[in-house]
Amino acid sequence: MVIVSDRALSIENACVNVLPWVTRGICYYHLQQNIIKTYGGKELMYLVKGAAYAHTLAEYNRCMDSLRAAHPELAAYMELADPKLWSRVHFPGDRYNIKTSNIAESINSAIKKAKGFPIPSLLQFIREMLGRWFYKRREDALSLQTPYSKGVEYILAIREHYAQSMDVQRIDATSFHVASGRSHYVVDLEQGKCECGVFQVEKMPCTHVLAALASAGVHVSHHTCDTYSQECLYATYAHPIYPEEEIDNHKKKSERCRPPKPKDGPGRKKKSRWQSWLEISRKSRKKGKSRRKKPKVYSCSKCKQPGHTRPCPSLLRNKLGGLRAVFGGLRGFTELLWRSTRL
């Protein structure tokens, strides 16, 4: 089991204390946002992404060496973040091609309108939503006419198209030398390895393995993980989600569970998190998407100038000017009286 999340310490502590057998990884998107926020600029993000998505150790080292030469502080930050959490080639578990926590973000967006509900209503909303999803995916899995899911079949079809143009030379009974342009790879079907690294990470044949399988006359299903099969897909959603049992409230009329009385803070409660500037810039580039609403600029009701509400500086200046005029007039009147008495 693998959990992909951000770098929150609470999630890390929960994985260690509650689920010690789980392998944890961090989301690349959150790591990318932290890097851009701390170090700024996007000119080196292709090296960061290349190191995170590298399938082989040589490719990872090449990207990290270039990053150390261009930005040593950024390279030190990534090494301090533990490559086992964000690097594909160093990850100790089976992460497949999951690099972000988009699934959790999708669930969070789906229950957005129910976040203000009471807890029983919120649980009922989640149960109904998951019940619809499980039923739809269960029916889709039963209607499949292929041994694997639609997404896997599509990927294999594209890779088979490119594999047809590769040159294959047999080394022994299970090893093959596959040439693709200037690139050369050795495929070992017995150990399930390819020098490109895609076969070991994704658990499905890459283009080089497909070329070797076609040359050996072996079917693709012998070297594809059962996780992608139609049977495994159906087993994932096989158990239906039933509604909760009705409770007889007549037996316990005296027991009432009252909600707590928390003290609400000022302002309207927000249901969604604040978007970062990176998300705003991406949405603004898409057609039909508007920018995030700018904050309201408050102005003074006296002088109509922005930047302050009260006390108004112009009003204070007018009051001080009036006081000076009053006290100045009194001073002149007292001097006139003093002179008249001396005469």
Looking at the structure of the chain, the number of domains it has is 3
Looking at the fold, whether 94 and 154 belong to one and the same domain comes out as: no
Question: 270 to each of 108, 113, 122, 158, 265, how far by Cα in Å?
Answer: 14, 11, 17, 44, 11
Q: What is the pTM of this model?
A: 0.68
Q: Tell me if 65 is assigned to some domain.
A: yes
pLDDT at 159: 93
Domain limit, last residue, from 216, 233, 250: 233
How, if at all, do strands 175-180 and 183-188 pair? antiparallel
Rounded CA-CA distance 281/339 in Å is: 76
pLDDT at 284: 63
Looking at the fold, whether 96 and 9 belong to one and the same domain comes out as: yes
pLDDT at 117: 87
Looking at the fold, whether 7 and 95 belong to one and the same domain comes out as: yes
Q: Tell me if 333 is assigned to some domain.
A: no
Q: Tell me if 282 is assigned to some domain.
A: no
Looking at the fold, whether 61 and 95 belong to one and the same domain comes out as: yes
Helix, strand or coil, per DSSP, at residue 187: strand
Enclosing H/E stretch for 66: helix 57-70
pLDDT at 130: 92
Q: Structural domain of residue 15, as residue ranges?
A: 2-103
Beta strands in 74-223 (DSSP E): 167-170, 175-180, 183-188, 193-194
pLDDT at 343: 47
Q: Tell me if 57 is assigned to some domain.
A: yes
Q: Splitting the chain (343 residues) into consecutive groups of 10 residues, what average pLDDT does each group show?
A: 84 86 88 84 84 90 91 89 88 84 86 86 91 92 90 92 91 90 89 90 91 90 89 90 72 68 75 63 58 69 76 68 54 54 50
Nearest to 24 by CA among 8, 10, 5, 9: 5
Looking at the fold, whether 129 and 216 belong to one and the same domain comes out as: no
Looking at the fold, whether 139 and 210 belong to one and the same domain comes out as: no
Domain limit, last residue, from 233, 263, 286: 233
Contact 22, 49 (CB under 8 A): no
Nearest to 233 by CA among 309, 138, 95: 138
Beta strands in 84-220 (DSSP E): 167-170, 175-180, 183-188, 193-194
Cβ within 8 Å of residue 26, ≥6 positions away? 4, 5, 6, 7, 81, 85, 86
Please report where in the chains the tokens 């957005």 appear, as a residue. 112
Contact 194, 180 (CB under 8 A): no
pLDDT at 262: 76
Please report where in the chains the tokens 């990884």 appear, as a residue. 25
Rounded CA-CA distance 77/62 in Å is: 17
pLDDT at 127: 92
* Backbone dihedral region for residue 40 (phi beyond 0: left; psi -120 to 50: alpha; all else: beta): left
Domain limit, last residue, from 89, 122, 143: 143
